[in-house]
Structures are given as C-alpha cells and as structure tokens.
Amino acid sequence: MLSAPPMYRRLAGMLYDFLIGGAVASIMATIIIGILMLKDVTVPANSLLSYSIFALELFVGFFYFQWFILHKGQSLGMQVWKIKITDIHGNAVTYPRIAIRYLSLTGLMLAGFLTGYKVLSYSSTASIGIALLFLLTSLLWSYTNKRKQALHEVLSSTRLLDCR
C-alpha cells in the first residue's frame, strides 16, 4: 500500500503547480486587461471589473488542476514529484471531489487574506502572509490525521500518495 508523501514533497509539488497555474492565469488576465486598455477601459482597484478578473483567474486555476487530474490522475507538479491523488478508497478522483478540494483550499486561503486585509487592517503583502499561514494550518492538519490528509483533503475525501 502506498503511503502519503512527506511534507517537503507536498510543498514542492504545490509550489510547482502554483507557478504554472499562476502563470497561465496571469497571462490570461494580462490579455484581458490589454484588450480593455486598447478600448480605453481602465480597471480600477476594488471594482467589480477587477474582482471579475480575479474570479476568472481562479477559474483558470481550477480548470488547470481539474483537467490534469481528471485526464492523468496527477497535476504537472504531482507528476514531477511522483505524487498521485485518489479518493480515500484509492479510486480515481471525480470532478465533484476535485471541485470541493480546490474550493476548500482557495476558500481557506481567501479567508486568511480577508482576515488580514479587512479584519486586521494589514497591508495586502502582510495579508498574503496570513493566507499562507491558513494554508500551512491545512497542511499541518495532516500530522493529526491517521491517513496523513491535510484539512482540504479531509473536506474533499481525497488523499495524496507517494508513488516513488
């Protein structure tokens, strides 16, 4: 039976995926903003348009993850670090489980950011730090779980396996 990957490999895979997914989402947002600028439309901070572009970036990130996981059982970062995602019974992950996993993790990080930015009145940079602390809390949850699942994995009934 395969065991859970060590924390450093989880983090490395997440960083790899974040860089790729973030780059794809940023390129998409840059193209949209460029088109808007050509039409003399500005994108003010804290506007419905800026929030819509951010939501679209989150959707692109979700599309990246769900496509690779549904078609290959692994995202690119998971492939590089030889990590596989399954449901808690070892079966292929379904679309609803991927959606719950993604929404719970991004929701957790968004809650951390908003806690820092809106509740504690921290700068956006410091609030990103709070969001990363929320992510770390989810990952550290795996040390309290017998299946070594992070909090977002418990919520989505998924788990990571070390395929080395």
Q: How far is CA 57 from CA 2, 39, 50, 110, 164, in A?
A: 34, 21, 11, 13, 33
Encoded tokens for 85: 């995602």
Q: What is the pLDDT of residue 32?
A: 94
The pLDDT confidence band at residue 1, using thresholds 50, 70 and 90, is low
Cβ-in-10-Å burial (0-12, 13-18, 19+) of 96 comes to exposed
Query: Residue 2 pLDDT > 90, yes or no?
Result: no
Q: By percentage, how much of the chain surpasses pLDDT 70? A: 99
The pLDDT confidence band at residue 52, using thresholds 50, 70 and 90, is very high
Q: For residue range 73-110, list pLDDT tens digits in order.
A: 899 999 999 999 999 999 999 999 999 999 999 999 99
State the pTM of this model.
0.89
Query: Residue 27 pLDDT > 90, yes or no?
Result: yes
User: Span 114-137, mean pLDDT?
Assistant: 96
Cβ-in-10-Å burial (0-12, 13-18, 19+) of 49 comes to middle
The pLDDT confidence band at residue 46, using thresholds 50, 70 and 90, is confident
Q: By percentage, how much of the chain surpasses pLDDT 90? A: 95
Question: Where do we find the tokens 């780059």?
Answer: 23
Mean pLDDT score across all residues of the chain: 94
